[in-house]
Copies of this chain bind each other. A is one copy, B any other.
Amino acid sequence: MQKTKLIDFPAIKTACSRCSLQQLCLPQGLNSADMERLDQLVKRPRPLHRGEYLFCQGDRLKSLYAVRSGSFKTYSLGEDGNEKILGFHLPGELLGLAGLGHGEYRAAASALETASVCAVPFDRLQDLADHLPSLNHQLHKIMSQRISRDQEVLLLLGDKSAQERLATFLLNISSRFAERGFSAREFNLSMSRQDIANYLGLTLETISRTFSHLQKDGALEVDRRLIRIVDRECLANIAGACFTDASSATH
């Protein structure tokens, strides 16, 4: 009874064709007829709260997910039980791609804050892609970009110092916020220091000290999880100039 209301209401409000994330997401480059067909596959489950799982490592892969709002972390669990964070995911980004070749999710995904997703049943997406070259190419593109993004992280973890890693991380987050229409200068991190440390291959204490240091250098102002980039150039220098964001606005 009530169920119908609860499902339909957000479905109408968030059709791909009206979604502000269209250009960052799966429908990018699709004409409106194709987008409509994609839209029919998409389910929009109830929002998740901080800490809830979207999927777990080893679950059978049923759907790919596009982040609609909020943010997620994906992480792999070692048998010693401790997690290693593989990535943070903002609206418009796809989750579950690594599982596609194995039929099961390769990592767990959990919400860092209240968050919602679009779920796309994978087999139906693949069927549709078989008939819509434009969708298929977009899928190729997204997967390829994911490969090159992961490789940038390899670069980061390869031989950079704590300062370089954190500075690069912040610039990366900043430009991803900017792409989504938020401020590149000032933003709230949705993840804890512990999560950042884990992701960057450092300890919580080192992250904390490095934040203090960047602040003392005048590159940042830090207030708990609120970050303001005061001197972007300084930060970029510290990052080792390996990060050149020609595009990002100072919005």
Q: Which residues of A contact B (CB under 8 A)?
A: 76, 78-80, 84, 86, 97-102, 106-107, 126, 129-130, 133, 136-137, 139-148, 150-151, 153-155, 157-159, 198, 201, 240-242
Contact A97 to B155, CB < 8 A, known contacts A130-B133, A130-B136 = no
**Smallest Cβ-Cβ distance to A82: which chain B residue:** B159
Identical chains bound together, number: 2
Give the residue name and chain of the B residue nearest to A147 (CB): B98
Q: Could you tell me the distance in whole angstroms from the C-beta of A108 to the nearest C-beta in chain B?
A: 12
Contact of A150 among B99, B139, B154 (CB under 8 A): B154
A143 CB contacts on chain B under 8 angstroms: 101, 140, 143-144, 147
Instruction: Tell which of A78, A148, A201, A242 has the most Cβ of chain B within 10 Å.
Output: A148
Per the bound structure, the CA–CA distance linking A159 and B153 in Å amounts to 14
Name the distance in Å between A243's Cβ and chain B's nearest Cβ.
11
Specify which of B98, B137, B159 is in contact with A201 (CB 8 Å cutoff): B159
Please report the C-alpha to C-alpha distance between residue A130 and residue B132 in the assembled complex, in whole angstroms: 8
Most buried by B among A86, A101, A142: A101
A144 & B101 in contact (Cβ 8 Å cutoff): yes
Q: With a CB–CB cut-off of 8 A, which chain B residues contact A140?
A: 100-101, 126, 139, 143
Contacts of A242 in B (CB 8 A): 78-79
B157 touches A107 (CB 8 A): no
CB-CB < 8 A to A153: which residues of B? 154
CA distance A80 to B107 in the complex (A): 34
Smallest CB separation, A93 vs chain B (Å):
13
Q: Are B101 and A148 in contact (CB under 8 A)?
A: yes
Given contacts A78-B242, A102-B144, A148-B102, contact A84 B136 (CB under 8 A): no
Cβ-neighbour of A76 out of B78, B100, B155 (below 8 A): B155
Smallest CB–CB gap between A158 and chain B, Å?
5
Q: Say how far A121's CB is from chain B's closest CB, in angstroms.
A: 15
- A244, closest chain B residue (CB): B79
Centre residue among A84, A99, A154 by max chain B CB count within 10 A: A154
For A151, list chain B residues within 8 Å (CB): 76, 86, 98, 106-107, 150
Could you say which of B97, B100, B157 contacts A158, with CB atoms under 8 Å apart? B157
Which residue on chain B has the smallest CB distance to residue A202? B159
